[in-house]
Structures are given as C-alpha cells and as structure tokens.
C-alpha cells in the first residue's frame, strides 16, 4: 500500500498554507494543531532523507555540488530545533539538535569506506549509526514520557538508517533500479515516523494541541498528500540533474518517476474510471514529465527555441491540470488559484535546474528547499477543498474497508475513496499556497 500512500501524499502535500480553520464542533478539517505538527514533521523528516541520500550519491561521485547538498542537510537538522523548542523548551531542543545534527557525520564514513573498499571503516560507520539509534531512541522516549516507547523508537530509527544505507549500497554497486526502489520505500517510511512521533506528542500534551489528534482521516489525507507531492518534486529535480549530467542512473530516476505516475493513475481510475485515468496520464506525462526532459535536452544543446517550446508545454499543463483540479473539487478549489499554484511549482523546478546548470549550487539548493516546502503548502488548500466537497467522508471514525490496491504496501491501514479523490485532484500541484519558511543559504 505504499503506492497508495504516495498517491495520496502528493495531494496532502499541498494543504499547509490556508488560513487556520478552527475545529468547529465535530466538523472535520485538514488544519488542526495536531495535524500542523504532523505536517511539519512530515516535511522536515522527509527532506532529511532526500538530502541524506542525495549527499551520499554526490559525495561518492565527487560531484561539484556535494558541499552545497551537505550545507542544506545540516541546515535541515538545525531547522528542526525551533519545532522541538516550541514543545519541550530550549534545553531539550539543543539536546535534540546535538544528537540529530551530529548523526549526519556518519555519511562520510560510508562514502570513504566504499571508495577505498575499507571494511574496517565501514564497521566504524555502522557503529556510529548504532550509537545514534540508541541515543536518539532514548531521547525520544524520554521526551515523550514513554508515549513513544523506547524500543519502538529505536526500531523505526534503525529501519530509517538502513533505508539510507541501502540506497547508497545499491548505488555504489550500480544496481540503480534497486537503489531507487529503496529510495521510494525509505522516503515513505519518514511519514510513518512523523505520524508515530506526532501522535505520541499530542497524546502527551493534549491541551497544548487543543484536544485534536494527529491521526484523523483528514490528517491522514494531508500527510498522504504531503508524501506524494514532495516525492514528485524530489524526483523531478533529481531526474533533471541526472539528465543534464548524462549520468548512468538517469533512466532509473525516470523509472521511479513512472512508478510514481502509476500511483497517480491508479488513484484517478478509482475515482473517475479508466477513461479519466488515461486522460490524466497523457496530460501528466506528455505536457509535464516529458516537458521537463525537453528542458534538459534544450540545456545540453543550448537550444533556446526548444527551451521556449518546453516551457510553453509546462504552461499548458498548468492550465489543463488547474482546470482539472477545479472541476474535480466542484469549484471548492478555485480554478485560477489551482493554475497559479501548478505553475509556481513548475517555476520552482525550473529555477532549481537553471541554477544547477549555471554551477551556482548554493542557489540551486536554496531553490530546492523552497520548492520542496511549497509542496506541503498546497496540500492544505487542496485538502480543505476536498473536505468541503465530501464532509461526510471525513467525519467518519472509521475508513472504508476497501480501497484501490496499487501493490506497494507499508501505508497506514485505511485510505478512503475520498482520499483517493483527494489525491486525484491533487496530482502534484494543487491549490495556491506559499510555504511559510524560506530556506537559508
């Protein structure tokens, strides 16, 4: 069910930006203090995974942008500190930062061990990972007063670290399809972690979060959309970089994108039938994914006319997809806002790529973090439109027993048809929303 998770995740990813919707009586809403916490952790933890795996690949290849990726990985760790401070205070937040930020250091050990075929260095790096898992698992259990049990915390942290290393090991062995399969699985695990952690914190401090929960149907929708949208952005950026570098794993990044598209298509089929799914795939691939590849080719050939034509295709995609989202949500997501948000997303992808081509890597990853964060903003607005469109679906305590089977596995039990609807409406860029935080250089 991980595919389902991804599918619903892109839709959810766009919800973080609308004005606060107060919990009125028993009415469902995508925005509550608890779901805000979960969405924040979704973004920070999943971005950590993307940057960590990207850095390992770049460092192993001795790519010119490896230092810029490392800077953003370190900044991501620092950005978690204010979130922790708002809950547990400055002292605990500093302890969190020291542990979490410090654990990024082990990645260089794995790189050096791989490059030098040094078994002893590999063992030392693995020992550092084990030390982090024990120390951070204990910290989380203590901070949440046992609401996140220490054994469970250590288990999920160990699984995450294994995900990162698995991506790297497959990459080093030139097993690229396995590497990107591991990437997709590890990426989605971060959303499981944020759900568990946010639920533990909310259970620990119910009054601080106004008696709201982090695991409601609406919160699940929002998180599922978070994952789908942000995974699309991460893969799009990586695919364009790999294409420009003419890297050996380029075809396998596009394979991962196709897998992601299949998730979307399955969701659309469950809502609008096969005809709607085929139409979605045509627009998504031809005017969107294909156009991004054309941007890369134009850059390699220094063909301004081809670049302009590709941009026009992306603009057409923004128009068509924005209209689709507005229609699907029966106008609860205004068409103009949808089109604007879709195009803003495309501009962020292009800005990231153009800075990369220019060799301004700091700027490229500034754009990356901005664009990645934006995907989480759109989910709130789109999710709000879906909840308004289908309020009864979100007020149910239990999810429908059946949902589309896209064959991936790993997602939380229960994604209702409306979530798929939400997803379908979502695709990668839905309602207008600006991400609340700008990344640091």
> Which of 57-61, 224-228, 273-277, 396-400 has the lowest average pLDDT?
396-400
Assign 109 a pLDDT band (cuts: 50, 70, 90): very high
- At which of 177, 210, 243 does a domain end? 210
Cβ contact 189:410 at 8 Å: yes
**Structural domain total, the chain:** 2
The count of residues in the chain is 441
**Which among 194, 195, 192, 213 has a CA at the least distance from the CA of 203?**
213
Going by C-alpha positions, the residue among 1, 34, 33, 16 that lies closest to residue 229 is 16
Q: Are 53 and 164 in contact, with CB atoms under 8 Å apart?
A: yes
pLDDT at 220 over 70: yes
Cα–Cα distance measured from residue 56 to residue 170, given in angstroms and rounded to the nearest whole number: 12
**285 and 384, same structural domain?**
yes
Contacts of 242 (CB under 8 A, 6+ apart): 249, 250, 253
Task: State the pLDDT confidence band at 11, using cuts at 50, 70 and 90.
Answer: very low
Domain end point (choices 175, 210, 245) = 210
Q: How confident is the model at residue 6 (pLDDT cuts 50, 70, 90)?
A: very low
Same domain, 168 and 276: no
Are 134 and 72 found together in one domain? yes
In a domain, 1, yes or no: no
Q: Of 178, 210, 242, which residue sits at a domain end? A: 210
More confident call, 319 vs 103: 319
For residues 157 and 263, membership in a common domain is answered with no
User: In terms of Cα–Cα distance, which of 42, 7, 67, 81 is closest to 373?
Assistant: 42
Assess contact for 26 and 395: CB atoms under 8 A. yes
Alpha helix locations (H) across 33-118?
33-61, 66-88, 90-103, 106-116
What distance in Å separates the CA atoms of residue 378 and residue 428, rounded to the nearest whole number? 9
Whether 419 is in a domain gets the answer: yes
Domain enclosing residue 116, as ranges: 44-210
pLDDT for residue 419 is more than 70: no
**What's the token pair of residue 383?**
């999710």
Note whether residue 26 is domain-resident.
no
Q: Are residues 189 and 77 in the same domain?
A: yes
Instruction: Tell whether the model's pLDDT for residue 41 goes beyond 50.
Output: yes
Phi/psi of residue 431, each to 5°?
-70, 160
Same domain, 244 and 157: no
Residue 215: helix, strand or coil by DSSP? coil
Q: Which range among 81-85, 308-312, 410-414 shows the weakest confidence by mean pLDDT?
A: 410-414
Chain segment 221-252, per-residue pLDDT in tens: 888 888 888 999 999 999 999 999 999 999 99
Q: Do 195 and 65 belong to one domain?
A: yes
Q: What is the mean pLDDT of residues 280-307?
A: 88
289 band by pLDDT with thresholds 50, 70 and 90: confident
Six-digit token pair at 155?
């288990």
Domain contains 264: yes
Q: Which of 369, 406, 412 lies closest to 74, judged by CA?
A: 369
Q: How far apart are CA 294 and CA 305, in angstroms?
A: 11
Tokens representing 210?
A: 């106004």
pLDDT score for 270? 63
Kindly state whether residues 185 and 292 are assigned to the same domain.
Answer: no
- Which residue from 88, 60, 39 is spatially nearest to 435, judged by alpha carbons? 39
Query: Cα(356)–Cα(205) distance, rounded to whole angstroms?
Result: 44
What is the pLDDT, as a whole number, of residue 111?
96
Domain membership of residue 400 (yes or no) is: yes
Predicted structure pTM score: 0.82
CA 229 to chain centre: 6
**297-343 pLDDT, tens digit each:** 999 999 999 999 999 999 999 999 888 888 878 888 899 999 999 99
Tell me how far CA of residue 348 lies from CA of 133, 303, 343, in angstroms. 35, 21, 9
- Name which of 368, 19, 431 is nearest 225 in CA terms: 431
User: What's the whole-number average pLDDT of the chain?
Assistant: 82
CA separation for the pair 208, 205 (Å, rounded): 5
Q: Does a structural domain hold residue 440?
A: no
Query: Is 51 part of a structural domain of the chain?
Result: yes
Computed from CA positions of residues 314, 248, 189, 421, in that sequence, does the dihedral angle turn out positive or negative?
A: positive
Question: Do residues 317 and 389 both lie within one domain?
Answer: yes
Considering the domain architecture, whether residues 87 and 202 belong to the same structural domain is answered as yes
Question: In this predicted model, which residue has the larger pLDDT, 143 or 420?
Answer: 143
Q: What is the mean pLDDT of residues 266-288?
A: 72
d(CA 377, CA 18) in angstroms, rounded, equals 8
Regarding whether 237 and 183 lie in a shared domain, the answer is no
My answer on whether 196 and 113 are in the same domain is: yes
Q: Does the residue 345 lie in any domain?
A: yes
């Amino acid at each position: 069910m991980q595919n389902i998770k991804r599918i619903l995740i892109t839709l959810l990813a766009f919800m973080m930006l609308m004005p606060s919707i107060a919990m009125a009586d028993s009415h469902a809403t995508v925005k509550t203090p608890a779901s805000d916490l979960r969405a924040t952790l979704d973004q920070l933890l999943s971005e950590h995974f993307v940057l960590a795996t990207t850095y390992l690949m770049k460092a192993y290849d001795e790519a010119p942008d490896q230092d810029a990726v490392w800077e953003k990985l370190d900044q991501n760790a620092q950005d978690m500190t204010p979130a922790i401070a708002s809950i547990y205070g400055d002292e605990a937040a500093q302890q969190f930062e020291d542990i979490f930020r410090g654990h990024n250091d082990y990645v260089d050990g794995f790189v050096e061990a791989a490059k030098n075929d040094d078994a002893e260095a590999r063992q030392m790096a693995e020992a550092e990972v084990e030390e982090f898992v024990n120390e951070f698992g204990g910290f989380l259990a203590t901070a949440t007063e046992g609401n996140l049990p220490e054994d469970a915390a250590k288990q999920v942290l160990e699984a995450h670290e294994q995900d990162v290393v698995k991506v790297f090991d497959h990459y080093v062995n030139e097993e690229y399809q396995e590497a990107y399969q591991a990437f997709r699985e590890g990426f989605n695990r971060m959303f499981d972690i944020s759900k568990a952690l946010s639920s533990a914190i909310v259970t620990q401090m119910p009054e601080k979060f106004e008696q709201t929960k982090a695991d409601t149907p609406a919160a699940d929708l929002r998180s599922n959309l978070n994952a789908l949208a942000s995974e699309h952005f991460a893969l799009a950026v990586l695919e364009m970089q790999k294409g420009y570098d003419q890297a050996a794993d380029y075809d396998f990044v596009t394979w991962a994108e196709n897998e992601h598209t299949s998730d979307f298509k399955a969701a659309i089929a469950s809502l609008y039938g096969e005809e709607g799914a085929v139409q979605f795939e045509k627009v998504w691939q031809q005017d969107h994914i294909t156009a991004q590849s054309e941007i890369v080719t134009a850059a390699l050939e220094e063909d301004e006319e081809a670049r302009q034509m590709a941009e026009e295709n992306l603009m057409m995609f923004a128009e068509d997809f924005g209209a689709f989202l507005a229609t699907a949500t029966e106008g609860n997501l205004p068409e103009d806002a949808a089109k604007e948000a879709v195009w803003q997303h495309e501009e962020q992808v292009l800005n990231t790529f153009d800075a990369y081509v220019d060799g301004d890597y700091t700027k490229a990853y500034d754009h990356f973090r901005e664009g990645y964060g934006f995907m989480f903003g759109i989910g709130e607005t789109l999710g709000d439109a879906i909840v308004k469109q289908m309020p009864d679906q979100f007020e149910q305590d239990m999810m429908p027993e059946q949902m589309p089977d896209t064959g991936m596995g790993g997602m939380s039990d229960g994604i209702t048809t409306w979530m798929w609807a939400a997803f379908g409406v979502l695709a990668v860029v839905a309602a207008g929303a600006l991400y609340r935080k700008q990344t640091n250089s």
